[in-house]
Structure 1
Amino acid sequence: MKRLMYRFLAFFVAFIAVFPACPGQATFQWAPLDTTPAFVERHLSPPAAFADTAAIAAYLQKALNELHADAFLEASADSLVYRDSSCTAYLHLGPRYEWLELGRGDVEEALLDAAGFRERLYHGRPFRYDQLRKLQERLLGYLENHGYPFAAVWLDSIETAAGQARAQLKVARGPLILMKALEVEGDARVSPVYLRNYLGIQEGAPYDQSKVLRIRNRIRELPFLQLSQDPLVDFLGGQATVRLLLDKKRASRFDFVIGVLPQSAAGRQENNRSLLVTGTFNGELQNQFGLGERIYAEFEQLRPQTQQLELQFNYPYVLGLPFGAG
């Protein structure tokens, strides 16, 4: 399969090198060598005209990529004829490839199950680049989230003949990487215990790429912290250190309204009056002790002898445990 790709790349480079720039519109047509004009019309019908030769080159690349994705792995423009403002490309299509076998190789059963690998999908079925790419991405994603950020996945023992393909899956896990610590820089005051629990990154746990990628969004959800730059990860000696540049963000607030109303003193003469102080107050304190805590208070007095007081307190990850009090 590599030879097929090299063949197309060599043609594409040659096309750019020898195909002269067209000053106006250019026309293009396919000349099929091993398929029918009906197939070309159905699958590859080009536009009536192109703005220039660069547009033709882009169309050629797109058309051949689509044929490869549709399992015509040998598809190529074998030669190119240019006359005035017209271009003819001679198409070699080749057979539509099917999977004869995609073997498990030495990949563990549990890893294949986690990636959703089913051997029957790679036997007697059309060869799909996107299907194979997604399988490789799922394998890599699982490994990267379970302690192996330097894993590699590839195909080995590749054989192609008579429109059939056979290969073996290969996986190299690389070294196991464990989380070492979270290092925080900046003017934010926050407990490392709170931060580890909130981000789900615990010292000694296998490295998890998905949690690192979620850090920015998780920090953005906090009203009292902000990231000054993307998280940095240092790998050294089988351990990963996540470095965060955190700055504090104003989150605490106080609002109050005070008023004065005259009132008649109970049991006093009508001309003997006193003043009633009325008002509302609410305040919210966020992360004042660096523990991610929230304290809320609301007080209201609008009528004589009528007062309302509401207090709320939330303390996440009590004693470093994965639950809070509130």
Structure 2
Amino acid sequence: MKTLISIMIQIVLCANVHSQDCYIRFLGEPTDVTAFKKMFSKDLTCDTTSNQRFLSGAMTRLHQKGYLLASYSMTGRKDTVETYVYLGERFSWAYLNTTDVPDQILRRAGFKSKDFQSRSFDQQRIKRLFRGLITESENGGLPFSSTYLDSIHFSDEGIAAKLIYDPGPRITFDSLKFQQNLKIKKKWLASYLHIEEGAAFSQKKVAAIESKINQLGFIVLNAAPGITFQNKQAIVELDLITRKTSRVDGILGFLPNEEEEGKLLVTGQFDLSLRNLFSSGKGLDIEWQSLKARSQLLDIIYSHPNLFSSALNFDGSFNLLKEDTIFTTRQGELNFTFKPSKHSFTVFSQFRSSNLLSTTDFQDINNLPDLSDFSVDYYGLKYQFNTLNDAFLPTSGVSGFLNAGVGSKRIRINADLPEELYSNVDLNSVQYLVETGFKSYWRWSNHLVFHYNLSAAKVINDRLFLNDLFRVGGLTSLRGFNENFFFASDYVLSTAEFQFYFQSDSYFFAFYDQSYLYYNIENSLFEDYPMGIGLGLNLATSSGLVSLAYGLGKAENQPLSLSLSKFHFGYIAKF
């Protein structure tokens, strides 16, 4: 071991502070002193108490860097404070013997033999290795493993040691335990949480239980999960509470039919959302709207988690839009999602077809109109992440998605239109679809939550039609306007909403919706920045949810006027 060289290097940190001079003197090699000069000169003051606190931390950092003998002392006289730092020798590794540790777990823990050969001794590197070994072990069925260094030897070549690893007993999951009166299948919940009976114990899976259950919504944890180890098996105990998340609401109206005297026009809206179907987490959503004459909207979504008890989730949807007597659009989508954690990856296919209902207005035209018969088959990928604290009433966390698809578009020739309109039109082309969104909730206090939502989308093709475009407007996108009021090939929607909670699940809210909408099709160009502002109330009752919202919308062709305001009222019955 090298002898400490008493070379005194004086660095004046501050002079005449409270009539005192403060010095730091390093005892060690000059090259070492230069390397650590900034570490000490930045924080040292003339206050003895703060100096001791700082120097204790500095010694820890020096020890971690291989200066195992580093120490300090302080002397103080009437008008002078002197601090002596002894750096000592910087130790290096000679080698680390790992022959008793399985190679597979060493690799997964990030071990590299070169990090422990002729390298400076670094306590943080050792700690990372220990932490990696323990983490890999407790996630691989060995929660009682331990590791430490033994046979530590100092020589002129450096430090030599042997890594000791005790795996402990191998533990497997036994079963889930929760209240028997819950309407949920134990086998399905175990599959959803990836805690199947007989599988190797994993602390990572146990730690993910709370967030995965929060994403379900129809059950919540009443307490943190408990684990009992017995006979080399782990029993996971859950204290669960069910919530009413299935809902139904609707309204039916009868208006005089202006086109057929003596008959009534039926308008209305119906929403049905069923959760935890067959006690196995499945979901079904049905929405029907007919808010104006001769127009209807139908949405059906079915979700099936853990398809065939695998890690794949499946959901399918069907959408039908009938726009007056102009056109109908049908859209179906199939999604297969792999969700190992808070992140998920989806492969999707989307099929879209649109048909003209009438060509009466297009008989005397020379160019193909803005509406047409066509079909598009998209195939694409979607990425999602979700850290929201609740699936149905979040108050903190973020979520987002990005999906991109490429499709084959086919324009169909309409027999009721002159065939020459299609002579210079490419009937087969490639169409692209990009959609993204970001949602966040910040709880500023016990009562105040700020919600921000940003979404954008774009459809790309050299020949777009009006019935190709996205539909924007209404309660779920741009408040202050009728449902599906706008068309857009490109849009950006931004929402800022303040929510004031006066009960755990009831709140007032004030919102500001801002958007950018654009399309440029063969015979028409549109660009606008519609916005909406308003107030609302969500009031939870014992049997459901009362929702009130009042919004004002402003666009290029719609001034901000009370006479054009929209009032939304709804009652959602939960069961």
- Residue in 1 aligned with 2:131? 137
The TM-score normalised by the length of structure 1 is: 0.80
Cα 1:187–1:84, aligned 2, differ >3 Å: closer, same or farther?
A: farther
State, as a whole percentage, how many aligned pairs show the same letter: 30
- Residue in 1 aligned with 2:26? 32
1:40 and 1:322 mapped to 2: Cα distance?
52
Question: Which consecutive residues of structure 1, in runs of 5 or more, have no partner in the other structure?
Answer: 1-23
Cα 1:230–1:262, aligned 2, differ >3 Å: closer, same or farther?
A: same
- Residue in 2 aligned with 1:117? 111
| Higher RCO by CA contacts (8 Å cutoff, separation 6 or greater) | 1
- Of the structure 1 ranges 36-45 and 188-197, higher mean CA displacement relative to structure 2 is found in 36-45
Kindly indicate which of the two structures has a greater share of residues assigned to helix. 1
- Contact persistence 1:25–1:49 (CA under 8 A): no
Counterpart of 2:159 (choices 165, 170, 175) is 165
- Contact persistence 1:156–1:168 (CA under 8 A): yes
- Contact persistence 1:186–1:245 (CA under 8 A): no
- Contact persistence 1:226–1:247 (CA under 8 A): yes
CA positional deviation for 1:276 = 2.6
Q: Give the secondary structure class of the aligned counterpart of 2:174.
A: strand
CA positional deviation for 1:68 = 1.5
- Residue in 2 aligned with 1:197? 191
2:115 and 2:313 mapped to 1: Cα distance?
47
**In structure 2, what residue type is equivalent to 1:45?**
S
2:215 and 2:244 mapped to 1: Cα distance?
14
**In structure 2, what residue type is equivalent to 1:54?**
T
- Residue in 1 aligned with 2:93? 99
CA positional deviation for 1:258 = 1.9
Q: Give the secondary structure class of the aligned counterpart of 2:254.
A: strand
CA positional deviation for 1:85 = 6.7
1:176 and 1:311 mapped to 2: Cα distance?
47
2:21 and 2:221 mapped to 1: Cα distance?
54
Kindly indicate which of the two structures has a greater share of residues assigned to strand. 2
Q: Give the secondary structure class of the aligned counterpart of 2:99.
A: coil
Q: Give the secondary structure class of the aligned counterpart of 1:230.
A: coil
- Residue in 1 aligned with 2:3? none
1:29 and 1:112 mapped to 2: Cα distance?
47
2:293 and 2:25 mapped to 1: Cα distance?
96
RMSD: 2.8
Matches within 5 A, 1:236-315: 236-263=230-257, 273-302=262-291, 309-315=298-304
Matches within 5 A, 1:47-58: 47=43, 49-50=45-46, 52-58=47-53
2:118 and 2:65 mapped to 1: Cα distance?
15
2:230 and 2:91 mapped to 1: Cα distance?
44
Q: Give the secondary structure class of the aligned counterpart of 2:178.
A: strand
Question: Which consecutive residues of structure 2, in runs of 5 or more, have no partner in the other structure?
Answer: 1-17, 316-575
CA positional deviation for 1:244 = 1.3
**In structure 2, what residue type is equivalent to 1:49?**
T
Q: Give the secondary structure class of the aligned counterpart of 2:257.
A: strand
- Contact persistence 2:92–2:119 (CA under 8 A): yes
- Contact persistence 1:296–1:312 (CA under 8 A): yes
CA positional deviation for 1:162 = 3.9
1:220 to 2:220 alignment: no
Cα 1:284–1:40, aligned 2, differ >3 Å: closer, same or farther?
A: closer
2:20 and 2:132 mapped to 1: Cα distance?
43
- Contact persistence 2:94–2:157 (CA under 8 A): no
2:113 and 2:19 mapped to 1: Cα distance?
49
2:126 and 2:193 mapped to 1: Cα distance?
33
- Of the structure 1 ranges 27-36 and 247-256, higher mean CA displacement relative to structure 2 is found in 27-36
The TM-score normalised by the length of structure 2 is: 0.47
1:60 to 2:55 alignment: yes
Counterpart of 1:229 (choices 223, 241, 266) is 223
**In structure 1, what residue type is equivalent to 2:254?**
V
- Residue in 1 aligned with 2:121? 127
- Residue in 2 aligned with 1:44? 40
2:254 and 2:244 mapped to 1: Cα distance?
32
Q: Give the secondary structure class of the aligned counterpart of 1:197.
A: helix
1:237 and 1:28 mapped to 2: Cα distance?
64
Q: Per-residue CA shift, 1:40-60, capped at 9, x if unaligned? A: 63442254634x433122111
1:74 to 2:60 alignment: no
Cα 1:25–1:40, aligned 2, differ >3 Å: closer, same or farther?
A: farther
CA positional deviation for 1:306 = 6.8
**In structure 2, what residue type is equivalent to 1:71?**
G
Q: Per-residue CA shift, 1:15-66, capped at 9, x if unaligned? A: xxxxxxxxx898653333334465663442254634x433122111121112
- Of the structure 1 ranges 210-219 and 159-168, higher mean CA displacement relative to structure 2 is found in 159-168
- Contact persistence 2:150–2:164 (CA under 8 A): yes
- Contact persistence 1:30–1:40 (CA under 8 A): no
1:289 and 1:323 mapped to 2: Cα distance?
18
**In structure 2, what residue type is equivalent to 1:153?**
T
